[in-house]
Structure 1
Amino acid sequence: MIDALTLGQLRTFVAIAEAGGFRAGAARLRRAQSAVSHAVASLEAELDIRLFDRSGRRPVLTPAGIALLEDARAVLLKVDTMRARAQGVGMGLELELPVVVDTLFPLPVVGEALLAMHQRFPSVRTQLQVAPLGGPLMALLNGQCALAVTVGDDLNDARLIKEPLGTVAVVPIVAASHALADRVRQRARLRLEDISEHLQIVLSDPTAMSTGRDFNVLSPQTCRVGTQEAKLTLIEAGLGWGRLPLWTVKRALDDGRLVKLPARSLGPAGESREQAYVVYRRDRVRGPAATALRDELLARHSAGGSA
């Protein structure tokens, strides 16, 4: 009977499917392989179906196993969320609040929110890191932070709650000495193919979340860098063009060191706006300081905090 199913059986099923084998699943769960095999066999008996094809060197999900894997994940996520809420009742103040912020998001906004949080909870030590692309989300999923800020809609995970924080202006730029800057000064119409002929400076994802995917990479010739600071330095040196958040380059644009590429294909007057989010785990406890920081970030969005 299905009422006899246990959470342990479901966790074992999911662990084996994700780890790619009974031995790896047992190691992930820190259980004996025989116990893991017995749990899956019991689950299959309860459901009266085969979840894994064991005829090869590695177990492979059957069509029924593939169909039920997402159901098992959904059940476990709801249970973990319920447990987190129960643990959060009467939870004490955090000793430390680790936060990871997308490299595109304006740090002055984060600083204001952290200051307001610190005034309420001065004893909480804050640990702030800045990471591009999948970095903030992966830090949340790995338990390395309690709260994150991310920019863009390309990367998602069902275990995360994303609340909108407004938008971030992103502009394509080159050094004033670059050939594309001459085209801008001559008021020549810039088409996408004109820009893509030149080397593009691209920020690399330090995680595997975007493996096999590129975001806003338009040129066949690229130079990939690990930090936004390196990207800006290479653009200022005249090596190529790239897209950066307006808040980081506004001063250099105003004093003429950098030039914005007003190509309509890259957004109105060359400017696009990326949605920003405050993100946290739905199946983890969010303590008082993390909640306060989340509220402060959202309050700045409500007050018109787009950058």
Structure 2
Amino acid sequence: MAFTSESLKVFLAVLDGGSFSAAARNLGRVPSAVSMAIAQLEAELDMPLFDRATRKALPTAAALALEPQARQVASQLNLLDAHALQLHQGLERRLVLAMAPELQTGAWSRPLAILAREFPTLEIEVRSASQSEAVRMLHEGSVQLALVFERPGIDEREAFLEAGSQLLVAVAAPGFPAAGGQLPLGEAQMADTRQIIVATGEPTASDPQIVLSHRVWLTDSYLATLDLVQAGLGWAYLPQPLIQPLLASGLLTEVVFDNMASQLRLWVDVVWIKARPRGLGATRYLELLREQLRGEPARP
């Protein structure tokens, strides 16, 4: 075998340095060792790789033809080494997070971009789940982390990090009875005006603060909910980052209540099981969330 990880490293160092002496400095070796390694590689390949007619090591046509694949192989070897080290340090094969649907348009996905750069081999799965379903999956072990709205009680089996908040806005299509410009909805009207929520099975699967009506339609995603709201079929609490452009353009309007604001801020926890060891990816995700929260306003 002509190319090995070692000869590949020397070959690329000479290409990058432009001479044997520069490559030797970059590798921390003496020039004669670099020259000998290249000569041995050329002998095994039975073709010259560098023109030694000048003080510079000029790559031959064969060396330039080999360069793209050599760099690709070197990159893969570096990735393999990094992956092996990360596995040794406790990197899980896959990090699975369950998120309440209201949270998937928030800031909680930002750390995933950094995780992808730091751990390129880590598989990440984000599951959309209602509050109760996300907690159930956490306890049964099918997810490592659950992002849910703050709950009134504390389960001693769980640990959590307060991870900011999400602003939900009650919106409807212009002209819908609950839309701005109409009479404010009283408590009785609110209960009898169709509300569209994201939940599976029963409306109670969603956070109870969100469900205000007795007349409820369910969807399994916020895009489906948004479509129904824009069609004038009901009103809904939708994440502010999702609907702000539609509010600004007049395609949606805020619902007017006579006894409460149209905006609802809910606090968010990321939860894990105390007795279950966290992998390197999950631990890093929590660290990144903490760093992100340092730059946000404190809870009142």
TM over 0.5: yes
User: C-alpha displacement at 1:285, in angstroms?
Assistant: 0.6
In the superposition, relative to structure 1, how do residues 213 and 257 fare at CA in structure 2: closer, same or farther (>3 Å)?
closer
Larger radius of gyration: 2
**Selected match of 1:175 from 168, 173, 176:** 173
Question: Structure 1 CA distance, aligned partners of 2:200 and 2:243?
Answer: 21
Task: Give the unaligned 5+ runs of structure 1.
Answer: 1-89
* Residue 113 of structure 2 corresponds to residue 110 of structure 1: no
How much identity, in percent, do the aligned residues show?
A: 22
Matches within 5 A, 1:113-152: 113-152=111-150
The alignment's TM-score, normalised by the length of structure 2, stands at 0.62
Query: What is the aligned residue count?
Result: 211
Counterparts in 2 of 1:135 and 1:301: CA distance versus 1, 3 Å: farther
* TM-aligned CA deviation for residue 197 of structure 1: 3.1
TM-score by length of structure 1 reads 0.61
SS of match in other structure, 2:214? coil
Match of 2:181 in 1: 185
| TM-aligned CA deviation for residue 160 of structure 1 | 1.7
CA contact (8 A) 1:168 1:276 kept: yes
Q: What is the aligned partner in structure 1 of residue 197 from structure 2? A: 202
Looking at structure 2, the residues matched to 303 and 271 of structure 1 have their Cα atoms a distance apart, in angstroms, of 23
Alpha-carbon distance in 2 for matches of 1:154, 1:233: 32
Q: Aligned partners of 2:253 and 2:101: how far apart in 1?
A: 21
Structure 2 contact 196–219 (Cα < 8 Å) conserved = yes
Judge which range, 250-259 or 104-113, deviates more: 104-113
Whether 1:228 and 2:226 are equivalent positions in the alignment is no
| Distance (whole Å) between structure 2 residues aligned to residue 131 and residue 100 of structure 1 | 6
Q: Distance in 1 between matches of 2:143 and 2:228?
A: 31
In structure 2, C-alpha distance between the alignment counterparts of 1:155 and 1:206, rounded to whole Å: 23
Corresponding residue number in structure 1 for 2:265: 273
1:63-99: CA deviation from partner (whole Å, max 9, x where unpaired) = xxxxxxxxxxxxxxxxxxxxxxxxxxx7522121111
With over 3 angstroms needed to count, the CA separation of the structure-2 counterparts of 1:206 and 1:298, relative to structure 1, is farther
User: RMSD value over aligned CA atoms?
Assistant: 2.8
Do the aligned residues in 2 keep the contact of 1:153 with 1:275 (CA within 8 Å)? no
The one-character-per-residue Cα deviations of 1:46-79 (angstroms, maximum 9, x if unpaired) are xxxxxxxxxxxxxxxxxxxxxxxxxxxxxxxxxx
Unpaired segments of 5 or more residues in structure 2?
1-87
> Amino acid of the residue matched to residue 196 of structure 1?
A
Contact residue 200 and residue 219 of structure 2 kept, 8 A: no
Greater relative CO (CA pairs within 8 A, separation 6+): 1
What corresponds to 1:218 in structure 2?
212
